[in-house]
Amino acid sequence: MKSLGSIRRSFAPWADPASKPFISVKNVTKRFGDFTAVDDLSLDIYTREFFALLGASGCGKSTLLRMLAGFEQPTSGEIILDGQSLAGIPPYRRPVNMMFQSYALFPHMTVETNIAFGLKQDGMPKADIAERVGQMLKLVKLEKFAKRKPHQLSGGQRQRVALARSLAKRPKVLLLDEPLGALDKKLREETQFELMDLQQELGLTFVVVTHDQEEAMTMADRIAVMSHGKVVQVATPAEIYEAPNSRFVADFIGDVNIFDGTVSAVENGYLRIETGNGFPIRMASPDKPSVGAKAAVAIRPEKIRVSRQPPAHAPLNAVEGEIWDVGYLGDMTVFHVRLKDGRVVKASSLNAVRAVEDPFGYDQQVWISFGEDAGVVLKD
Amino acid sequence: MGNWSRFNIASIVLGFGFLYLPIVLLVIFSFNESKLVTVWAGFSTKWYAQLWHNQALLDAAWVTIRVALISATCATVLGTLAALALVRYTRFRGRMLFSGMVYAPLVMPEVITGLSLLLLFVAIGLDRGFWTITLAHITFTMCFVAVVVQSRLLSFDQSIEEAALDLGATPVRTFFAITLPVIAPAVFSGWVLAFTLSLDDLVISSFTTGPGATTLPMKIYSQVRLGVTPEINAICTILIGIVAIGVVVASVVTKQREAQRERDERAAFAQ
């Protein structure tokens, strides 16, 4: 059986009906005056899962995280953590810790005392605190900076202190609010993998809020794509990318070409969709809509081939166009191909070899084509 | 220093002269040998020595300092709380009214503040004296503290308080372990401001005083009506000295701190 992309490891408690969720968000709504930030949202998160809430700013992802931390109370609905309702439990009595977007380090304390703060609140003996702080400093490789104050650290170091502080109490769940947002690109990419390793090593449940889809795709076991206070799709990164459940998700994650049309034939597992201008599409789909129904086909640019000669199956899943724009990105090249009816299709190809004979250039007449399982038929 | 044009020099001389000539004259004449304030008769420090024997003046100074210490401390507590309420609870009922009422004394003529307090004290039958002056000073200095602390709180990253709560500190502990230490410099400047305002207040003190409670400004004012003596010049010079030392120390400390901080930050980012 074909599977969608590669999954990091065989970790999929969400697919097992016997496993119980660790965090259950049940029909939670949060209103601020007239504004509904989170709208009747339900979610299950499992132990040791790296779960990402992904969405544009204002989609309610941060509000949801703040409700998990206890800074906001749901207007209705409830959140259950490890079998216990969190309703009415203040932030300082919840077994979760949060890493803040601004890091929120205490400016008047050293790195050491910042990390020790939470342990002190629990009344841990001094010797144990010192030992734990030492472990945390080692974990984030900041042993040499123990006596420094936050303003004496670089952005990357501050991020590590914030991480160490939020992990020091060994919370059951770590909430991360845009944890890498303030780092530059290179450091961000390195830190993504470090966070993943750390989560594996400590066996914790991570819930991360991010607006950066690449970050979510890299780190998370599952992603919840959010929009206007609702979850649009919860799935693994590969499923989100290859099998988006809606036009919104297809469009939000990565680049996509969407062809609208009407269903003209339904035959065992395939749909024939007429998109106009003599460009019919035959695409695999488990659904069986009636003939004449509206349908849209979403195809990722890297799954579209560009060629000078029409493929054998033309005009099915193939159409002629003109190269309108070429973007050379180093690892790949992006083509914008303009069809006769004015639609622009994005196609990309990997630059697997260093030099190409006779590359495609501007204004050339080309054919674009794709396979019968290259895309997804969207319902809406 | 490229622009020492005549115009610039003239501006500086005029500006500083306007500000400091009267004070310089006062200081010079405090060292005058003669009893006549306007006739120079040689250098002497005898008026300073005589101050220590003027019991009335010393008593007034002691009253002033006690009033200033107590009222500045109370005003700092109340002003800080008011600032916290105004910044944090942005949507409570009557916030505009409350905020306006906290700041009104800032622009209220002192005569009116003094008179209204006098009427209040008379109405509730409070014996006027040391405590009524202190209460009055708390009233009018509190709003200055609130302004200073509020401006600090507006630039305060509230997520550090949330972080403390998140790490298990109760709201009360969070206030004392995190909020207060971070806003401490502003609270301290508020205190210093309240202290100096109380120290040199004349109008409100005059309205709210009673027998046996005479502050230094009141004493000086009443003596000046009988004629300026070199003794008054001497005590004024001491006051100026105290205030000047305070201001200079405060600004030097702030400057050094800022410079240190900048050096640290540069060092951190150079790594």
pLDDT at B211 over 50: yes
pLDDT of residue B137: 93
Q: Which residue ranges form the domains of chain B, and what is each CATH number?
A: 54-246 (1.10.3720.10)
pLDDT in tens, A252-278: 988 999 999 999 888 888 999 988 877
CATH, domain range A13-95+171-251: 3.40.50.300
Per-residue pLDDT band at B175 (split at 50, 70, 90): very high
pLDDT in tens, A275-302: 887 788 999 988 888 888 888 999 999 9
> Does the beta carbon of A115 lie under 8 angstroms from any beta carbon of chain B?
no
pLDDT of residue B270: 62
Greater model confidence, B117 or B228 = B117
Prediction ipTM score: 0.82
pLDDT at B245 over 90: no
Q: What values do phi and psi take at A351, rounded to 5?
A: -90, 80
Tell me the percentage of chain B whose pLDDT exceeds 90.
Answer: 24
Q: What is the distance between the alpha carbons of residues B48 and A357, in angstroms, rounded to a whole number?
A: 100
Q: List CB contacts (< 8 A) between B173 and chain A.
A: 121
Amino acid at site A378: L
Element (H, E) at A167: helix A155-167
SS3 of chain B: CCCCCHHHHHHHHHHHHHHHHHHHHHHHHHCECCCCCCCCCCECCHHHHHHCCCHHHHHHHHHHHHHHHHHHHHHHHHHHHHHHHHHHCCCCCCHHHHHHHHHHHHHCCHHHHHHHHHHHHHHCCCCCCHHHHHHHHHHHHHHHHHHHHHHHHHCCCCHHHHHHHHCCCCHHHHHHHHHHHHHHHHHHHHHHHHHHHHHCCCHHHHHHCCCCCCCHHHHHHHHHCCCCCHHHHHHHHHHHHHHHHHHHHHHHHHHHHHHHHHHHHHHHHHC
Q: CA of B161 to nearest chain A CA: how many angstroms apart? A: 8
Tokens 């003094």 sit at which residue?
B114
Answer yes or no: are the C-beta atoms of A289 and A266 closer than 8 Å. Answer: yes
- Give pTM, 2 decimals: 0.80
pLDDT at B268 over 80: no
In A, minimum Cα distance to B159 occurs at A104
pLDDT of residue B231: 82
User: Residue A324: which residues within 8 A CB-CB, separation 6 or more?
Assistant: A336, A337, A338, A344, A362
> Does the beta carbon of B90 lie under 8 angstroms from any beta carbon of chain A?
no
Q: What strands lie across the sheet with A294-299, from one edge to the other? A: A280-284, A270-274, A257-267, A294-299, A375-378
CATH topology assigned to domain A255-378: OB fold (Dihydrolipoamide Acetyltransferase, E2P) (2.40.50)
Tokens 């977007």 sit at which residue?
A101
pLDDT in tens, A63-103: 999 999 999 999 999 999 998 999 989 999 999 999 999 89
Domain ranges of chain A: 13-95+171-251, 255-378
Asked whether the beta carbons of residue A71 and residue B261 sit closer than 8 angstroms, the reply is no
Greater model confidence, A22 or B211 = A22
Q: What is the distance between the alpha carbons of residues A176 and B160, in angstroms, rounded to a whole number?
A: 15
Per-residue pLDDT band at B235 (split at 50, 70, 90): confident
Answer yes or no: are the C-beta atoms of A59 and A249 closer than 8 Å. Answer: no
If DSSP codes are grouped into helix, strand and coil, which group holds residue A300? coil
Quote the DSSP letter at residue A8. S
Answer yes or no: are the C-beta atoms of A210 and A224 closer than 8 Å. Answer: no
Select from B169, B264, B271 the Cβ nearest to the Cβ of A121.
Answer: B169
Which residues are A266's β-sheet partners?
A271
pLDDT in tens, B54-94: 888 888 888 999 999 999 999 999 999 989 888 887 766 77
Q: List CB contacts (< 8 A) between B166 and chain A.
A: 69-70, 91-92, 96-98, 166
Residue of A173, A162, A182 whose CA lies nearest to A67: A173
pLDDT at B1 over 60: no
Residue of A175, A205, A199 whose CA lies nearest to A20: A205
pLDDT of residue B36: 77
Residue of A275, A284, A213, A212 whose CA lies nearest to A250: A213
